Amino acid sequence: MIAAIGKNNSLGKDNDLLWHLPDDFKRFKLLTTGHKIIMGRKTFESFPKPLPNRTHIVITRDYNYKLDLPNCIVVHSMGEALKLIQDDTLTYIIGGGEIYDLGMPYADILEITRVHESFEADTFFPKIDERIWKLTQEEFHSSDERHKFNFTYLTYQRR
């Protein structure tokens, strides 16, 4: 899974991000390009267009929901999404909150950007239980003219 989350596990509000961190966008692009990405319908619809060089697997409960776009597949459960990636070595779950909840039991690695600020939000990332997850990498970034907040890249691996 890959996510940028606030100090209080905030993800977003009104289907939008709570911060703008250009270096985090670059990292997201670097890590996910060339892979399948699993997301909920609202997350998919928050993009202006499908992300290039990635296969989008969009989970929705709406059986009438259709996407006639290249590299976009609609499924109706996490189980269906997981069947589509069973032969892949790397796939990313990219949100939103409910999809992260559903995906947490299946994830092996968490790529987290921890924004060092709490935000008012309506969507949250699940709690990272350190009895299950081991922090294996950490890289701090200070705020600057392009990044309003301090943030840290954190990589967790399932114990």
Length of the chain: 159
**Residues 14-70: tens digit of each pLDDT:** 999 999 999 999 999 999 999 999 999 999 999 999 999 999 999 999 999 999 999
Which structure tokens are listed for 139?
Answer: 């890289």
pLDDT of 31: 98
> What is the model's pLDDT at position 21?
98
Taken in order of first residue, the domains within the chain and their CATH numbers are 2-158 (3.40.430.10)
Sheet containing strand 151-158, edge to edge, reads: 2-6, 109-115, 151-158, 133-141
Three-class SS of residue 69? coil
pTM value is 0.96
Read off the DSSP letter of residue 120. -
For 78-122, what is each residue's pLDDT tens digit?
A: 999 999 999 999 999 999 999 999 999 999 999 999 999 999 999
CB atoms under 10 Å from CB of 91, counted, come to 23
Do 142 and 133 contact (CB within 8 A), yes or no?
no
Confidence class for position 158, pLDDT limits 50, 70, 90: very high
Measure the CA–CA gap between 87 and 83, rounded to whole angstroms: 8
How many percent of the chain have pLDDT more than 70?
A: 100
Which residues share a beta bridge with 154?
112, 138
